[in-house]
Amino acid sequence: MPMSNHTQPLNDIKLDETSACINHSEKKESVFSLLKYALIGMLFGIVFVKAEIISWYRIQEMFLLQSFHMYGVIGTAVTVGIISVAIIKKYNIKTIQGEKIIIIPKIFTKGHIYGSLLFGLGWAMTGACPGPIFAQIGAGLMSGFVILASALFGTWTYGFFQEKLPH
């Protein structure tokens, strides 16, 4: 349901913000056309390993303020991202299929505080956020499979208790 969320009542959107709402394109894509995302992913995977973003040591150094590396990576990425999005908006750049580019605004919930704190704890423990978990697996680290299985169980547990949690 790519666009249907816009007509939902606000409360539903709050709990349902990401429910398949990442894909804003109305166009169906063939498997062949999906390969372009795999190609960008590949580049990302190479960067994850080569810039040691999937290293537990780099994450520890970041939180111990012992190294600038991760701050440099995130700071540069955010700067490039802000400039790119600003250019897209200013010049009303369309997708290659000619669609208008849509970025749905984030709706604040208390989950942004509780969930983010919990994720921060887990990030420092595993040295991995969700992207690097997949990169760890690709790099042949068996621990990546354990972390992924646990993370899936964590997401599943959130889904199970979602309506009972404060948002």
Partner 1 sequence: MFEIIESLKAPWPWYVAGAVIGLIVPALLIIGNKTFGLSSNLRHICAACFPANIKFFKYNWKNELWNLFFVAGIMIGAFIATHYLSNSNAIIINENLKSTLINLGVTDFQHLMPSELFSLNSLSSIRGFILMVVGGFLVGFGTRYANGCTSGHAIMGLSNLQWPSLVATICFMLGGFIMTNFILPFILQFN
The residues facing 100 across adjacent strands are 94
Integer-rounded Cα Rg, in Å, for the chain is 18
Distance in angstroms (rounded) separating the CA atoms of residues 50 and 138: 13
- Residue 112 makes contact with partner 1 by CB under 8 A: yes
* Window 135-154: residues binding partner 1 (CB under 8 A): 135-143, 146-154
Q: How far is CA 43 from the centre of its chain?
A: 16
The only residue of 69, 90, 91, 164 in contact with partner 1, by rule CB under 8 A: 69
The only residue of 9, 79, 91, 164 in contact with partner 1, by rule CB under 8 A: 79
The only residue of 9, 10, 11, 64 in contact with partner 1, by rule CB under 8 A: 64
- Residue 91 makes contact with partner 1 by CB under 8 A: no
The only residue of 61, 90, 91, 164 in contact with partner 1, by rule CB under 8 A: 61
Intra-chain end-to-end CA distance of the chain, in Å = 23
Distance in angstroms (rounded) separating the CA atoms of residues 147 and 142: 9
- Residue 57 makes contact with partner 1 by CB under 8 A: yes
The only residue of 6, 10, 11, 36 in contact with partner 1, by rule CB under 8 A: 36
- Residue 9 makes contact with partner 1 by CB under 8 A: no
- Residue 162 makes contact with partner 1 by CB under 8 A: yes
- Residue 164 makes contact with partner 1 by CB under 8 A: no
CA angle 138, 46, 25 (to 5 degrees): 90
Distance in angstroms (rounded) separating the CA atoms of residues 107 and 15: 10
The only residue of 10, 43, 91, 92 in contact with partner 1, by rule CB under 8 A: 43
- Residue 6 makes contact with partner 1 by CB under 8 A: no
- The label of the residue with tokens 């889904």 reads 159
